Structure 1
Amino acid sequence: MAESGAFPLPTTSTGASRPAPGTGAPQPVPAHTPLARAADFLWLTARVLEQRRFAYEFLGAGDGGADAVETALDAYRTEDGGYGHALEPDLRGPVSQPLHAAHALGVLDSIGRCGGQRVERLCRHLTSVSTPDGALPSVLPRQRAYPSAPFVPIVDNPPGDLLATGPVVGLLHRNDVWHAWLFRATDFCWHTVESLEKSHPYEVEAAIVFLDSVPDRPRAQAAADRLGRLVREQRLAVLDPDRLDDFPVAPGYAPREHHFPHHFARSPGSLARAWFTDAEMSRSLDVLSAQQESDGGWPIHWRLWAPGTALEWRPLVTLDALRTLRAHGRPIG
């Protein structure tokens, strides 16, 4: 664990300097910028893991900050080699779940540590919970013993799901991780993505994480082109924010659970960026910027089912918003 004194102080309303993590040197944060406002929100509300990630990704925490992120993530590890303890806030309790594993890999990827023995252990765990076709179910039946979101189905013998498998496979390929489990899981993702005829936004997001990193780039480009046409034909992304009614939310989603181009193309280098014109992408980022609320955080648009999960999700959504805006060159401070 990093020394407590190495962690930055909260942003002040005057934009006062804070010590840079691990150095004691001042690191000014301009007042009233999106970053400063988000910092106030995150220091007030976020879990330790999200606070550590914020310090590393936005406040120049360096290698010491990566150590702190990794230590905070360790609190969510389970004895079977997976992750649990509500790392993904909508699944409560100590049991490991594939969605927690995907979340953990995203954390490790963000600090450049998605490899080594930690990921080897996780791959062995994923092998043990995979379906016969080599894929991951989103939720294993063991979740029944603990609270979970009502919109997360829990069934006996759950099938493999692109929602869980796509991000895991994509992140492992992105970090040049090779494990026997990956071969069949990759085949599952290819078959599922290339067979999609009707989809919904979260499934498309999982598909694009896979396609952005899988090694066969020509095949990924072709699959992404097809998927982009599907997104536009089925109006899965809001292309004109002034005409929301023209883009209905997917069945089972909350009334305001619209998805915009920035949800799919989280960085300019994503294959999904080619799905949208410059004007469509610009309007989407305008919407994202404008959604920052008075307390500095970004809102949740899916169904809320418990007060605690809402508190834990908003910092995660806020970090995602900051990353997306910065990746696309929007000023955040």
Structure 2
Amino acid sequence: MAETGASPLPAIPPPAIPPPATSRAPDSRSPLARAEHFVWLTARVLEQRLFAYHFRGGDPGPVETALDAYRNEDSGYGHALEPDLRGPASQPLHTARALRILDAVGRCGGQRVERVCRYLTSVSTPDGALPLIREGGEAGPAAPFVPVVADPPGELLATGPVVGLLHRNAVWHAWLFRATDFCWQAAESLGSSHPYEVEAAVAFLDTAPDRPRAQAAADRLGRLVRERRLAVLDPDDADAYPVSPGYAPGEHHFPHDYARDPRSLARAWFTDDEMARSLDFLAAEQEGDGGWPVRRRRPAPAPALEARAGVTIEALRTLRAYGRPLG
């Protein structure tokens, strides 16, 4: 029992709260703060770690750790890493997304990527390319625009971004030789195409080793995009531009979708005014909950929500790459 009349305990000041990782917290009304709220409220751990890396000075290690949860014993990736593909099985599109994440955090190299290249070799078609999706007993449900077919062909859509990433990171593997030849042939012969395929061609051409050849191929693609009206150049009149077959209503592409970085070869396809309007449109797309929308078809609520976090991070990265203020 305490003694009667004992002196009260001296007041102890509360411990100091450590400062945030950045020098100043963003304004609560800023695009970055709104996006951060959305990410912490809805995103998977992987996208939370990616957001922290890109915008809060986070370490790449936790990103790699989160990504490991999607890796299979064959060194491919599955488990709905690409939200539109469900199920545990390794798929080329999941693995391509894993490589993009590793590239984004500066970890696209070493034995991990060597093992990924062995997986890519094992799933390639006879012409050395990657199919969009492989059928198999563990293949889960997929979005309608990613059909599961027997003996699928190699696709530039799946192969181009992977080959481009490996070249950018100076990764050399036997698989790359035939895959690079496939990408050259496909990119240089595109005649009737659609926006996502053009995006894949740009991802390859931006880092292809033969720069004059890449420049010539990109110039031709830029003319194709403008002639076929595959980019909305006036966001205020988007309905005047055609939607590619199989796309969702209103699933348009804009200049910033092709040139996500001003150093891209696709940047030369558009005037400064066209790019400025495109970026204005991108900034204005941020929704009330802080996230950016997914313009493609939504096969189910969960994949759509999972995809929005990645789309939101990419929108912020694009705006930052062009010097747009985020807060």
Tell me whether the two structures share a fold, i.e. TM-score over 0.5. Answer: yes
Note if contact 1:139-1:158 (Cα within 8 Å) is conserved in structure 2.
Answer: yes
1:171 to 160, 165, 176: 165
Note if contact 1:40-1:296 (Cα within 8 Å) is conserved in structure 2.
Answer: yes
1:261 deviates by 0.1
What percentage of residue pairs aligned between the two structures are identical?
72
2:240 aligned residue:
246
1:105 aligned residue:
99
Q: Distance between the aligned counterparts of 2:316 and 2:247, measured in 1?
A: 24
2:50 aligned residue:
53
Q: Distance between the aligned counterparts of 2:69 and 2:286, measured in 1?
A: 30
Judged with a 3 Å threshold, the aligned counterparts in structure 2 of structure 1 residues 144 and 303 are, in CA distance, closer, same or farther, namely farther
2:177 aligned residue:
183
1:192 aligned residue:
186
Q: Distance between the aligned counterparts of 1:142 and 1:230, measured in 2?
A: 37
Structure 1 counterpart SS, 2:136 = helix
Q: Distance between the aligned counterparts of 2:156 and 2:177, measured in 1?
A: 15
Residue type of the partner of 1:58? F
Give the root-mean-square deviation of aligned CA atoms: 1.4
2:20 aligned residue:
19
1:321 to 290, 310, 315: 315
2:268 aligned residue:
274
Note if contact 1:91-1:143 (Cα within 8 Å) is conserved in structure 2.
Answer: no
2:140 to 146, 150, 162: 146
1:296 deviates by 0.4
Map Cα deviations across residues 299-327 of structure 1 (whole Å, 9 max, x no partner): 11111111110110110110010000000
Answering whether residue 214 of structure 2 is matched by residue 220 of structure 1, we say yes
Map Cα deviations across residues 57-96 of structure 1 (whole Å, 9 max, x no partner): 10112xxx20000000000001111000000001111100
1:305 aligned residue:
299
Judged with a 3 Å threshold, the aligned counterparts in structure 2 of structure 1 residues 259 and 275 are, in CA distance, closer, same or farther, namely same
Q: Distance between the aligned counterparts of 2:184 and 2:23, measured in 1?
A: 49
- More deviation in 143-152 or 94-103? 143-152
Answering whether residue 278 of structure 2 is matched by residue 288 of structure 1, we say no
Note if contact 1:18-1:28 (Cα within 8 Å) is conserved in structure 2.
Answer: no
Q: Distance between the aligned counterparts of 1:27 and 1:237, measured in 2?
A: 38
2:121 to 123, 127, 133: 127
1:194 deviates by 0.4
Gaps of 5+ in 2: 1-16
Aligned length: 311
Q: Distance between the aligned counterparts of 2:139 and 2:111, measured in 1?
A: 30
2:34 aligned residue:
37
Of structures 1 and 2, the one with the larger relative CO (CA 8 A, separation 6+) is 2
Judged with a 3 Å threshold, the aligned counterparts in structure 2 of structure 1 residues 80 and 277 are, in CA distance, closer, same or farther, namely same
Note if contact 1:162-1:206 (Cα within 8 Å) is conserved in structure 2.
Answer: yes
1:28 deviates by 1.8
1:10 aligned residue:
none
1:242 deviates by 1.9
Residue type of the partner of 2:140? Y
Answering whether residue 80 of structure 2 is matched by residue 86 of structure 1, we say yes
Q: Distance between the aligned counterparts of 2:65 and 2:165, measured in 1?
A: 20
Structure 1 counterpart SS, 2:83 = coil
Residue type of the partner of 1:44? L
Judged with a 3 Å threshold, the aligned counterparts in structure 2 of structure 1 residues 330 and 17 are, in CA distance, closer, same or farther, namely farther
Note if contact 2:194-2:230 (Cα within 8 Å) is conserved in structure 1.
Answer: yes
1:97 deviates by 0.4
Map Cα deviations across residues 186-215 of structure 1 (whole Å, 9 max, x no partner): 000000000100110000010000000111
Judged with a 3 Å threshold, the aligned counterparts in structure 2 of structure 1 residues 151 and 58 are, in CA distance, closer, same or farther, namely same
1:69 aligned residue:
63
- More deviation in 27-36 or 89-98? 27-36
1:260 aligned residue:
254
1:144 deviates by 7.1
Structure 2 counterpart SS, 1:224 = helix
1:297 deviates by 0.4
- Structure (1 or 2) with the larger CA radius of gyration: 2
Task: Give the ranges of 4+ consecutive aligned residues of structure 1 lying more than 4 Å apart after TM superposition.
Answer: none
Note if contact 1:70-1:108 (Cα within 8 Å) is conserved in structure 2.
Answer: yes
Residue type of the partner of 1:305? P
Judged with a 3 Å threshold, the aligned counterparts in structure 2 of structure 1 residues 145 and 102 are, in CA distance, closer, same or farther, namely closer
1:109 deviates by 0.3
Judged with a 3 Å threshold, the aligned counterparts in structure 2 of structure 1 residues 232 and 45 are, in CA distance, closer, same or farther, namely same
Residue type of the partner of 1:160? G
